[in-house]
Amino acid sequence: MLVGFPDFFRDSKKNWPLGKSRMCPVFIPWPMATDLYPEEAWLRKFPVPGGFENEKLAATRKHVARCESFIRNTSYLSKVVGKDYIMPIEQQWFWEFEYRQAKERHTLQKFAARMPADDFEALTGVHDSVFDIETTERIDTDIYEVIESSDFGEDKKVRKAPLLAYGITGHSIQEKFNPDPSIIDWDREAIRITWVSNRDERYDWEMIPLLPVNEDVEAETMDKLLVYEEPKEGEEYSCGIDTAHGLGKEDEDRTCISLTKKGINAGYDEQVAEYTSNKLSPAQTVPFAACIAAWYGKKNKDPRGVKFAIEQTMGPGDICQNQLKIMGFNHHIKSFRLYAKKIKDEQKNREGFYSNSVTVPILMDFYTEAVDGGWYKPKSKWHIEELKTLERHIKDGGKDRMEHRQGQHDDRVRAAAMSYVAFHTYDDLAARSQRRYDAPQGKKSLSKGICTANSVTIGEGWDE
């Protein structure tokens, strides 16, 4: 695939209907070539097995549904095969046969690019994805319920638990970050947050409730606090922060604040909130992170409040970490280093996540193993989309690295990974990777204490 072609195609697809592109993008999926896929000689050698219709893999069913949906809903294709198009059973069997071989050979990504269902899959590249189809389907199933379409339109995914969105205003937050009145939910009350530091300095914020967010449009999820679960008494929370320069450009890195709730009784961790922006500099990130940490820290089991993991060295997070500590948020991850036998604190006086060629692979290995095994459950749609585009790239010397696909981002993944490793630096990674999370049965929950973090008041304490 030519360098830059995926972006060129996507731009044409976006702007052609608006009359802003001179190129009309056309994609013809492989099922349209019935004379090639499969050929008669191949089908004689490998005939469709009896009972295949009822024994198809879940991956096959998903691919078939995606092909049929694309063809039915693409006018220049449906004119040829009709709006009631059904993929021939011979092609379904052919795809599953090839899929099984690709899975055994660890070449699923190349296979997906060679036999894509739609233009999105065709432009995904040829590097192997970190997660297989089964894992990404399970991640979606954890948070979405699929409502099948009664006609031939696309199925609709609906969240099992409601998503709440907030704008944040108050101390040190510039007016340009205030939510537009047109997106404010005036029927819900604002949440007032007060933080009093250990130096008796007071900071006040207000969380403004917003109207429901259309998560399918990434831009509508930006510059908003997305809450998947509100703070609960006696839980433990961590906050990973991946900072950026905040220039507001679409293709630049984003600042992401990701909150994680630690699992109890050897249960899974889960994402509870996220704030992503390409407009926040490290210094501008501080009041947003402080407000969120004050809200969740109010009910945190650990009296020190929310535990921070902010990227240092390779990211401009030093300013963010220093300012939060000045404000009295003093619970931060200790820097660690990989030794021959185990991971140890590198220096007791170094805090934050120091990213380098050693620690970043450790971080990503810990996190991806947790996601793959069900020990961490992401809740953000675009966090999940970043996971789907996370690839293994082979570098010089044969070493592989986990990187985002060309033209994509991984800022949400990095922030969530840091929030996860904040609690699990010393976990036995090898032992955990051998098994998936299995919910405990009949076990009592741990007792939940009352938070005694630096004076935090919400709501009634606003005017005191």
Tell me how far apart the alpha carbons of residues 205 and 290 are, in angstroms, rounded to a whole number.
9
pLDDT by residue for the chain (464 residues), tens only, comes to 444 577 778 778 878 888 888 888 899 999 999 999 999 999 999 999 999 999 999 889 989 999 999 999 998 999 999 999 999 999 999 999 999 998 888 777 678 878 889 887 777 655 556 677 678 888 888 888 877 655 545 567 889 999 999 999 999 999 999 999 999 999 999 999 999 998 899 999 999 999 999 998 899 999 999 999 999 999 999 999 999 888 877 777 899 999 999 998 768 999 999 999 999 999 999 999 999 999 999 999 999 999 999 988 655 668 899 999 999 999 999 876 544 445 555 555 678 888 877 788 888 888 888 888 889 999 999 999 888 887 765 555 555 665 655 556 789 999 999 999 999 876 665 555 556 665 544 444 444 443 333 434 443 333 33
The terminus-to-terminus CA distance of the chain in angstroms comes to 63
pLDDT value at residue 443? 43
Element (H, E) at 59: helix 58-72
Q: Residue 154 falls within a domain, yes or no?
A: no
Helix (H, G, I), strand (E, B) or coil at 308: strand
Enumerate residues 6+ apart whose C-beta is below 8 A from 386.
Answer: 404, 408, 409, 410, 411, 412, 413
- Picking from 102, 126, 150, the residue at the C-terminal end of a domain is 126
Enumerate residues 6+ apart whose C-beta is below 8 A from 441.
Answer: none
At which residue do the structure tokens 């009295």 appear?
A: 328
The answer to whether residues 324 and 387 belong to one domain is yes
Residue 285 contacts residue 308 (beta carbons within 8 Å): no
Closest among 314, 295, 300, 386 to 352, alpha carbons compared: 314
Q: Residue 298 falls within a domain, yes or no?
A: yes
The answer to whether residues 203 and 286 belong to one domain is yes
The answer to whether residues 52 and 187 belong to one domain is no
pLDDT value at residue 151? 53
Q: What is the identity of the amino acid at 354? A: Y
pLDDT value at residue 355? 80
pLDDT value at residue 434? 58
State the alpha helices, DSSP H only, in 255-380: 282-297, 318-326, 359-372
- Picking from 77, 100, 126, the residue at the C-terminal end of a domain is 126
Tell me how far apart the alpha carbons of residues 7 and 223 are, in angstroms, rounded to a whole number.
25
The answer to whether residues 292 and 185 belong to one domain is yes
Burial class from Cβ neighbours inside 10 Å (0-12, 13-18, 19+) for residue 264 reads middle
Q: Residue 148 falls within a domain, yes or no?
A: no
The answer to whether residues 235 and 377 belong to one domain is yes
State the alpha helices, DSSP H only, in 123-166: 133-143
- Count CB atoms within 10 A of the CB of residue 138: 16
pLDDT value at residue 449? 41
The answer to whether residues 347 and 294 belong to one domain is yes
Tell me how far apart the alpha carbons of residues 281 and 284 are, in angstroms, rounded to a whole number.
5
The answer to whether residues 356 and 443 belong to one domain is yes
Tell me how far apart the alpha carbons of residues 216 and 156 are, in angstroms, rounded to a whole number.
11
The answer to whether residues 100 and 198 belong to one domain is no
The answer to whether residues 121 and 168 belong to one domain is no
Number of domains into which the chain is organized: 2
Q: Residue 156 falls within a domain, yes or no?
A: no
- Picking from 77, 109, 126, the residue at the C-terminal end of a domain is 126
Q: Residue 140 falls within a domain, yes or no?
A: no
Range of the domain at 371: 164-460
Helix (H, G, I), strand (E, B) or coil at 242: strand
Q: Which two tokens stand for residue 332?
A: 């931060």
The answer to whether residues 184 and 97 belong to one domain is no
Tell me how far apart the alpha carbons of residues 311 and 241 are, in angstroms, rounded to a whole number.
7
Helix (H, G, I), strand (E, B) or coil at 339: coil
Q: Which CATH number fits the domain that encloses residue 299? A: 3.30.420.240
Q: Residue 192 falls within a domain, yes or no?
A: yes
Is the Cα torsion angle 138, 53, 124, 71 positive or negative in sign? negative
The answer to whether residues 57 and 199 belong to one domain is no
Residue 153 contacts residue 146 (beta carbons within 8 Å): no
pLDDT value at residue 365? 82
Phi then psi for residue 436, to 5 deg, are -95, 160
Q: Residue 146 falls within a domain, yes or no?
A: no
pLDDT value at residue 439? 54
Tell me how far apart the alpha carbons of residues 135 and 141 are, in angstroms, rounded to a whole number.
10
The answer to whether residues 302 and 449 belong to one domain is yes
Q: Residue 332 falls within a domain, yes or no?
A: yes
Q: Which two tokens stand for residue 293?
A: 């940490």
Burial class from Cβ neighbours inside 10 Å (0-12, 13-18, 19+) for residue 172 reads middle
pLDDT value at residue 252? 77
State the alpha helices, DSSP H only, in 298-350: 318-326
CA 115 vs CA 17, 277, 449: distances in Å: 27, 35, 54
Enumerate residues 6+ apart whose C-beta is below 8 A from 107.
Answer: 128
